[in-house]
Amino acid sequence: MDEREKNYRKDTLCVQAGYRPETGESRIPPICQSTTFFYGDTKTMADLFDLKGEGYFYSRLANPTVAALENKLAALEGGIAGIGCSSGMSATLLTAATLCEAGDNIVCAQAVYGGTFNLFGTTLPKLGIGCRFFDPDAAEEEIDKLIDDKTRLIFAETVANPAIIVLDFEKIARIARRHGVVFAVDNTLATPVLCNPFRFGADVIIHSTTKYIDGHAAALGGMIIDGGSFDFKDNPRYASFNTPDESYHGLVYASLPAAFATKCRAQMMRDMGAIMSPQNAFLTWLGCDTLALRMEKHCSNAKAAAAFLKEHPKVEWVKHPSLREDNYFSLAKKYMPAGTGGMLSFGIKGDAKRCARFMEALKLITQETHVADVRSCVLHPASTTHRQLSAADLKKAGVPENLVRLSVGIENPEDILADLSRALDRI
């Protein structure tokens, strides 16, 4: 983070962090739509390949436009380095691959996005990386039992998608510290405006920048942010961080300030190439400018929608931490004091067919395989994003058949409520 940025507040960082032009340069980061970069001498380029110098040589690893966004989000989260990825799922995969090898395991909250649940529960086990799922509300001693000497990562979401469970950061952080395991958090639904997981013990933060950070459904992307707090040095769980990397002439990652980020980029991004495109980084940068303003509106609109739905006779239940009776009201006040987010879930009285009739009756609010942009949208997770899960896994993930996920946009709240009311009247 730039020294000038350290005392800036979040709404200022959204606009100002990450890039500062010199005299005569463009005010916002230009799109560097180039795969490669010119150097006039051999040594300078060789030093870049050896990680001894700073600069760019191939956009599969790093790019100036992507770097500007990386710096902005690192500043917003209070981290020391960011890595822009092609999607939120690639960010999650790269994080796991940086820490784990065949024979290792991940301990993951069972209430997570369906794609993450499938990646950790189905895909990675095929590559020899196991996963043990835990109830995020379970007691510490129950989660402790899942961790063994092969555990390399504890993973959870700030606000679970779509179960709307608020994570007890300090509980999970205590467990992670007790065992010397990296604690990574997907902060997509909260954004750095509403929650800063590093303050509460997280080591790595992941975002699907496709969601609120872009905010306009215009640019696919993900971000990994290294908090720089985890000490890999001589930790027996992370031999790969303490063993010289011969592809970089014996570099030992544990000796570096940004050990995780450096290894992730130098090894995993190098070999997998899942970097964010310059065009998408540019669009996401523009979206981030208004993130703080938008989140305020998302939060207030979602609060109004939750209160309305709670009182409707055709709604069985509502999950949103703004509701005083919500199970996570107190945790949200503790970890998300600026607002409880723009997404909520509710249960239609009836089955999946009745949910479908409700969603098809909406006019303003649209059905989309998306969440967290300026436009309000709905989805039936059990038949879409979580369709690949078994009935037992759906239950673990907190996704009953009658759950409707509502991502509340920034439209006028009276129009949103009127649309919900009309659609409910028709079922």
In terms of domains, do 81 and 193 share one?
A: yes
Q: Compute CA distances 198 → 30, 182, 186, whole Å.
A: 30, 12, 12
In terms of domains, do 333 and 240 share one?
A: no
Does residue 417 lie in a domain region?
yes
**Can you tell me the mean pLDDT for 240-253?**
95
Does residue 341 lie in a domain region?
yes
Does residue 380 lie in a domain region?
yes
Q: What is the pLDDT of residues 128-163, one digit of tens each?
A: 999 999 999 999 999 999 999 999 999 999 999 889
Q: Lowest mean pLDDT: which of 164-173, 253-262, 379-388?
A: 379-388
Decide if 35 contacts 43 (C-beta within 8 A): no
- Alpha-carbon dihedral sign for residues 294, 116, 155, 167: positive
Does residue 1 lie in a domain region?
no
CATH of residue 355 = 3.90.1150.10
pLDDT band at 110 (very low <50, low <70, confident <90, very high): very high
Q: Which amino acid is at 358?
A: F
pLDDT of residue 3: 67
In terms of domains, do 188 and 323 share one?
A: no
Decide if 264 contacts 83 (C-beta within 8 A): yes
Q: Which amino acid is at 303?
A: K
pLDDT band at 394 (very low <50, low <70, confident <90, very high): confident
Q: Please tell me the pTM assigned to this model.
A: 0.95
CATH of residue 100 = 3.40.640.10
Q: What is the pLDDT of residues 40-95, one digit of tens each?
A: 899 998 888 888 888 999 999 999 999 999 999 999 999 999 999 999 999 999 99
In terms of domains, do 267 and 300 share one?
A: no
d(Cα 261, Cα 74) in Å, to the nearest integer? Answer: 11
In terms of domains, do 219 and 82 share one?
A: yes
Q: Which amino acid is at 287?
A: G
**Can you tell me the mean pLDDT for 111-124?**
93
pLDDT band at 5 (very low <50, low <70, confident <90, very high): confident
* Number of domains the chain contains: 2
pLDDT of residue 114: 85
**Can you tell me the mean pLDDT for 321-349?**
97
CA 113 to chain CA centroid, nearest Å: 10
Does residue 4 lie in a domain region?
no
- Alpha-carbon dihedral sign for residues 343, 345, 348, 354: positive
Q: Decide which of 239 and 383 is more confident.
A: 239
d(Cα 287, Cα 278) in Å, to the nearest integer? Answer: 14
Last residue of a domain, one of 231, 252, 287: 287
In terms of domains, do 306 and 248 share one?
A: no
pLDDT of residue 130: 98
d(Cα 111, Cα 160) in Å, to the nearest integer? Answer: 6
d(Cα 277, Cα 196) in Å, to the nearest integer? Answer: 26
Query: Which domain, by its residues, includes 261?
Result: 9-287
Does residue 379 lie in a domain region?
yes
pLDDT band at 7 (very low <50, low <70, confident <90, very high): confident
Does residue 3 lie in a domain region?
no
Q: Average pLDDT of the chain?
A: 95
d(Cα 94, Cα 114) in Å, to the nearest integer? Answer: 17
